[in-house]
Structure formats: structure tokens, C-alpha cells
Structure 1
């Protein structure tokens, strides 16, 4: 019998112990960094058609929110390890200007994953989700990267600074708990999951696509399959001023298998933008 994943504890009445806020290393990196929203192609089509990232009810925080990660396309569908022949289930990436997003909250990992128990084996069961919250600003996200990773390149790869928690006292349990979770994103982790240290920014406001999407990464076959163009969708992208790159989709592969290929495309975009070395 499979074990039910343990959700991260929640604060109930007591004030959060937000120890990570004091660890932020500000001023060493750009204060505002591009954001990434990854979703299934079927959902992305609806986003493009509507012209907005529309806030939706979030059961984790019981509020209407839209979610983004800083720089990193850290995306995994619940059923993403299962093969599929439906292109609508495969990833579609938006890279967004940070100026378009007013943060409602900032967390140092994917809160949906925490709620689902994805990090349960590494998380300190006595540290609550709210304890990990950073200041709700873009600057706080950059400060967390500066402290935990030291560079944008290391953050993109998920490689924490060596000796990050050396000298941190045992009673600073939130900081140590973060370190245990974030290690799941390191190269060579036996539980690899880039969501474990991808900084999450949520907003309570709709975000228009036009003028705010820097790039989209799309399955090539969704735009042109054997010379048959998806002209209506291409026109919608053009009307919203969205530039795009493509990756190769194949039926009967698993959506999550394409994470590395997509990460390379996004990394190359940031390198060409001189954000990454």
C-alpha cells in the first residue's frame, strides 16, 4: 500500500517565524528578475485567447492568485510521468517581465508542491509553510538567490552554495528546514525536483500578456504539423506581441520528460539576454 504524502503544517493562530528574511543578501543581483509561468498547452491556449494571466482560486491560500517562478521553468504535472499522445498535456512556457507582476507573496519553493506533500521526506515536520514566506517583493526574491545560491547561474541549476548552513545554530529551524528541502533541486539529488528551490511569486492581480510576455516556448507541432499551420493561434500570438521558440513534441512520451530540453531553451534565451553567463 502506497503512503499518502504528508502535507506541510500550517500556522493556526501563532505568528510565523520568518527566519529566512534576515538571511537575504540584497544588492548583489538585479532587484527584478524575469518570471516564468509554465502550464499545459491546453491551458496556455485559453490564456493566449483571453489575453491575460487571470487569477484563479488557490486552495492553498484560499485566495484568487496567479503563480510564477523566478527564472526557472520548474514544472511538473501530477500525471506528467505518464505517457500521452495528447499535445494539450505538454508544457507551454511564458517568460514575463517582472514589472508586470505585483507580488502578493514570495516563497523560496513551490507552495503547491509543499501542500501536496512533495517535500515531506526532507521537510522538518515542525516547521509550518508560513514560516518560509519571504517579504512580498521582487527584491526579496533576488536577496534569497544571493544568499542561498550566490549567482543566477547556480540558482538556475539548483545548486546551493557550499557550506550554506555552516555556523547556523540548531535553533534556527526554518533556515535549516529550507536547506533540507532545497537540496532536492541539486544536481545529483536522489529525489530531483527543481520546484524545491524555485522561488515562487504569486500575484492577486490579472496580468495582461501584451507588452509583458518576453518569450513563449511552444511544442512546434502545435504551430505547424507537417506543413499545416495553426494560423488562428499564430495570429493570436502575433496580435499580443509574443515572440516564441519551439521544442520537438512526440506522441506517447511523458510531459515531464521534456523538462531538460525546455530548460535549455530558456537558459539560452537568458544567456542571449546576458542575464546568465
Structure 2
């Protein structure tokens, strides 16, 4: 098996939608878009998060995760001294989005590339895992699968999640097998395995829509003093508040995930989103 395949015939069996259809939840969950500094510079310059051609779905789409900062950048496991290769995070207001094009309970790009193959059921097409295309559905799924935002951010599924799931409900059980790869204590934890993905088919203006940007401190400062005045001015013009992580050269982009996550957690706590 190499990657979870798209359905080529028949109707999708979307069991996960039925599991969460009647839950009452808060819907104001912030959305996270993660890219490289080099891309983010162009985004801030243009003033918009823009759609791009997605090969998997053959659509012009823009991708987010609900709340969780889950990422693997291109060549993210390779050391580099080039700051352009390192993560830049946009945390976006949910009301900046119109109706999503799709919502999935994991990173579809990683699924299609085979990242979850060790646990994925080879007989379940990708389309069967799709949730309803609403932000409310994303929130309902998080409540059902994790119980709380705190556990969702850690990747820890409800311990009793399968207690009432019959063996023939294979899509639900298949999802849990994939999602367990994100849990604390996994041999190779990958937070993408249960990060709720939201795709839209429209761009999002930065101005007044970004709650926080997280970027390398050294992209803005030299020796503790502001240095990148033009970029700082652009952030201010777009009304984009920012925080930073302490970048170091000749590390890998993926090594900074925990530090960036701590910055985001601090922000979410300050907003009363989590305890």
C-alpha cells in the first residue's frame, strides 16, 4: 500500500459524520496555516493567504488545521542555515472563512503520500473519512474523538472511544487506527494523523483576520534590536500581531515544532480557549 486512495466508484460510507451529527459545541475555534518563512514573506507582502492548485483534489484550495499546529515542511528533516526554510504560522479567525470545501479528520496530503500506511486500513478510501464541510463539524469531531481541546492538542484520543463501536463499523475503527499515530507516547508521533484539516476554495485577506503570527525572532531582530523594519511595517499595516520562537541555524525545521507549539498554547490560554 502506498497512500490512502481516493474512491473511484460507489458511494462514500461516511460513518464519522453519523458519530457526531447531534453534538452541541462551540464553533469559534481558530484555524492554523503553516508555511515556510520564504513563502510567508510573499503572503505578507501581497496581503492575502491565497489558494493554490491541490494535486490530490484537482482544485484551487487553501488549507488550515483546526487549532493544532501540525506540520512537516518540505525537507523539514534536513538541517539548514537558511531562515527562509523554517516555519511561519498564521493563526486565523474562523469567521474569516466561508463554507469549507472539505473537512477531514487528518492531513489528507500526508495520507495520500503514504505517511499513515503502517496503520491505515487498505480497504477504506480517503473519501469515506470526510466530515461534513462545516466548521461546526470540525468542532463536533474534536469533542467526540478527544473530549477536550487540551487532549486534542496533545493528540490523545478518548480512552473509551471504541467501546460502543461495532467491528463492522470499519471506517470509524480505521480512523482511530490512523489517529493513534499522533498520541503522546507513540513511537513516531505525527500530529498530522489526527489534526482536523479544513480546506477552502477562496483566499483570505490578512488584515483584521490574523489573531497571531509566529515566526523566527531572528527574522525580525539582530542582537536583540529590531532590524527588519520593512517587514515589521507590513505586519503592522495588515494588523497582524506576532510572537516568535528562538531560531538557530543548522537545525532542522521540524525540530522547532515543540517550541512553536508552546508559543501557540500560551496564546490560546491567554484567549481563554484552553485551561
- Structure 2: give runs of 5+ residues left out of the alignment: none
Cα contact 2:15–2:172 (8 A) shared by 1: yes
Cα contact 1:26–1:142 (8 A) shared by 2: no
Distance 1:155 1:26, change over 3 A: farther
Q: Residue 29 of structure 1: CA displacement?
A: 3.2
Q: Structure 2 CA distance, aligned partners of 1:95 and 1:147?
A: 23
Cα contact 1:41–1:89 (8 A) shared by 2: yes
1:18 aligns to what?
A: 14
State how 1:91-130 maps to structure 2 within 5 Å.
91-102=87-98, 103-130=100-127
Cα contact 2:25–2:136 (8 A) shared by 1: no
Q: Residue 9 of structure 1: CA displacement?
A: 1.7
Picking from 167, 179, 187, the partner of 2:176 is: 179
Q: Structure 2 CA distance, aligned partners of 1:166 and 1:53?
A: 41
2:25 aligns to what?
A: 29
Q: Residue 27 of structure 1: CA displacement?
A: 4.4
State how 1:70-149 maps to structure 2 within 5 Å.
70-102=66-98, 103-149=100-146
Cα contact 1:215–1:245 (8 A) shared by 2: yes
Cα contact 1:31–1:138 (8 A) shared by 2: yes
Q: Structure 1 CA distance, aligned partners of 2:226 and 2:93?
A: 32
Listed one character per residue, the Cα deviations across residues 161-192 of structure 1 (whole Å, up to 9, x for unaligned) are 00201131111111000000000110000120
Picking from 239, 256, 266, the partner of 1:268 is: 266
TM-score by length of 2: 0.97
Q: Structure 2 CA distance, aligned partners of 1:189 and 1:120?
A: 15
Cα contact 1:110–1:197 (8 A) shared by 2: yes
Aligned residues: 273
Q: Residue 21 of structure 1: CA displacement?
A: 0.1
Q: Structure 2 CA distance, aligned partners of 1:158 and 1:174?
A: 19
Q: Residue 81 of structure 1: CA displacement?
A: 1.1
Picking from 151, 157, 160, the partner of 1:160 is: 157
1:40 aligns to what?
A: 36
Listed one character per residue, the Cα deviations across residues 232-276 of structure 1 (whole Å, up to 9, x for unaligned) are 111100000000001101000011000000001001100010000
Cα contact 2:44–2:235 (8 A) shared by 1: yes
- State the 4+ residue runs in structure 1 displaced beyond 3 angstroms: 25-29
Distance 1:173 1:242, change over 3 A: same
| RMSD of Structure 2 on Structure 1 (CA) | 1.1
Classify the secondary structure of the residue corresponding to 1:92. strand
TM-score by length of 1: 0.96
